[in-house]
Amino acid sequence: MEKRKLKLLVMPNCLELGKKVDKELKKIFKSEDSFLLRYDNSRFSNGEGKVIIEENINNIDLFIMSDVGNYNTTYSYHGKEHIMSPDEHFQDIKRSIAATSGHTSKINVVMPLLYQSRQDKRKGNESLDCAIALQDLENMGVQTIITFDAHNPSVCNAIPRLPFENFYPTHRILEEIIDNEEIKDIFVVSPDMGAMERARYYADMLGCDVGVFYKRRDLSKVVNGKNPIIEHMYLGADPKGRDIMVVDDMIASGGSILEVSENLRKRGADKIFLITTFSLFTEGVESFIKAYEDGLFDKLYTTNLSYVPDEIKEKPWFQEVDCSKYLATIIKTYHNQEETENLWNGKKNIINKIEKKKEEE
């Protein structure tokens, strides 16, 4: 039986990352041919979209890549430039699936930033958007969903029979930090109780202690849909004189993580590195610029798994971690139906890097 061919359908919202993944796949498979699928994604002037597959997709193992958080993708809507929303990006994923018309052997959706990941649980009469979206993909015939650092991994319970692969770029970020920074007496801090599991994961990789901040909120008020934070209460060892990694899944405005950084600086922390998988910067860039100038943090480490404006990438406090090789390895592993154990934990490599750096010093 002929082996299924691998193809990437890369949406316009993650073309830069998709091309890098394609380059890495060509190296892995020692191929001169691109894995990028030829297709057309167009729109009518009233905003309605259309996807056309432009090559044979029979017996194809298709990986659809989309960055639903990209806010730099536009189209002409009634003669005006319109910035695409996450809802529109997700609808384009569904269009792409529909365009295959059932000819592919397998459809996999690679959505590094999980669509509606923050709308993952219900309180009262509230929409449960993430769960519904995952069920939509399952009902359309998707056989694997690949994502990174889901806000709440438990949302996979909405699709108990569908493989939901939630990877963490922890080891890639730590490798970059170890290569670039002189760190000593490291200490990991979670900015809130919800991110504690992630902080413990980083601490376990580094073999160090972990602390956490508790957000005390004013439950009598609601501002922009949230109860305002009154105070960040710290629980953990004394950070004085230590290098700190503050880790979270994403930054939107970044107000909370900057307040935590300022608190740690007042407590005498030495170097402060902010670490996040996704830096959305939907607002608050000026706050980061000022915080850096005021010495509240040393550097922000984040991945290229979601869109970041070029003007931010050029800032001295910004360090992008390229995850294209890691993502290409994940795709190759699932395409070849290989053992996935080595994809989940790069702790051994981190330990070896730390020991090697100590020897060099």
52-90 pLDDT, tens digit per residue, is 999 999 989 999 999 999 999 999 999 999 999 999 999
Looking at residue 31, what is its pLDDT? 94
Same domain assignment for residues 10 and 158: yes
Q: Residue 1 pLDDT > 50, yes or no? A: no
Same domain assignment for residues 13 and 160: yes
Token duo for residue 187: 């200490």
Q: What percent of the chain has pLDDT over 70?
A: 95
The answer to whether position 353 is within a domain reads: no
Looking at residue 345, what is its pLDDT? 63
Q: Residue 305 pLDDT > 50, yes or no? A: yes
* H or E, element range at 276: strand 272-279
**Average pLDDT of the chain to the nearest whole number:** 90
Same domain assignment for residues 109 and 204: no
Single-letter code of the amino acid located at 103 = H
Residue 36 is given by DSSP the state: B
Looking at residue 201, what is its pLDDT? 87
Same domain assignment for residues 200 and 306: yes
Q: Which residue has the tokens 């309180």?
A: 123
Mean pLDDT of 12-28: 97
Same domain assignment for residues 218 and 139: no
Single-letter code of the amino acid located at 68 = V
Q: Where are the beta strands (DSSP E) in 204-259?
A: 210-217, 229-235, 243-251
Same domain assignment for residues 206 and 335: no
Token duo for residue 358: 């100590």
Same domain assignment for residues 293 and 330: no
Same domain assignment for residues 26 and 145: yes
* H or E, element range at 291: helix 285-293
* H or E, element range at 258: helix 255-266
The answer to whether position 257 is within a domain reads: yes
Looking at residue 166, what is its pLDDT? 94
- Mind spelling out the 3-state secondary structure of 53-103? ECCCCCCEEEEEECCCCCCCCEEEECCEEEECCHHHHHHHHHHHHHHCCCC
Same domain assignment for residues 282 and 210: yes
Verdict on whether the full-model pTM lies above 0.85 = yes
The answer to whether position 266 is within a domain reads: yes
106-110, 132-136, 182-186: least confident range: 182-186
Q: Residue 218 pLDDT > 60, yes or no? A: yes
> Which CATH number is 115's domain given?
3.40.50.2020
The answer to whether position 350 is within a domain reads: no
114-119-121-126 Cα dihedral, nearest 10 degrees: -150
Same domain assignment for residues 31 and 159: yes
The number of distinct structural domains making up the chain is 2
Mean pLDDT of 156-178: 93
Enclosing domain of residue 37: 5-167+324-339
Same domain assignment for residues 88 and 113: yes
Q: For residue 143, count other CB atoms closer than 10 A to its CB.
A: 17
